Amino acid sequence: MPIIASAKKKMRQDKKRTVRNKLKKDAIHGLLKNMRRAPSVETLAKASSALDKAVKTQYIHPNKAARLKSRMAKLMVAAK
């Protein structure tokens, strides 16, 4: 356990950030999973939107979002 006040504060912040990041991660992964299971225009739009928001808040790298969106688009073409 930290003794210094700033270290205690950092620990509190880290706990909050961990929870927040886990929620974001689970939400994005859930949308991507839905897209893979049942590819449709609606699921593609929701997943793309979530990825764009994650990039905007610097949660994931822009290239990763582009790669995932590209794969989803390929999946849509293959499904048709």
CATH number at residue 57: 1.20.58.110
- CA distance linking residue 72 with residue 77, whole number of Å: 9
Phi/psi-derived region of residue 58, left when phi > 0, alpha when psi is between -120 and 50, beta in every other case: left
**Structural domain tally of the chain?**
1
* pLDDT exceeds 90 at position 66: yes
pLDDT per position as a tens digit, 12-49: 999 999 999 999 999 999 999 999 999 999 999 999 99
Burial of 47 (0-12, 13-18, 19+ CB in 10 A): buried
Residue 32 sits in which domain range? Answer: 5-79
Distances (CA, A) of 33 to 16, 26, 27: 26, 10, 10
- Report the predicted TM-score, pTM, of the whole model to 2 decimal places: 0.81
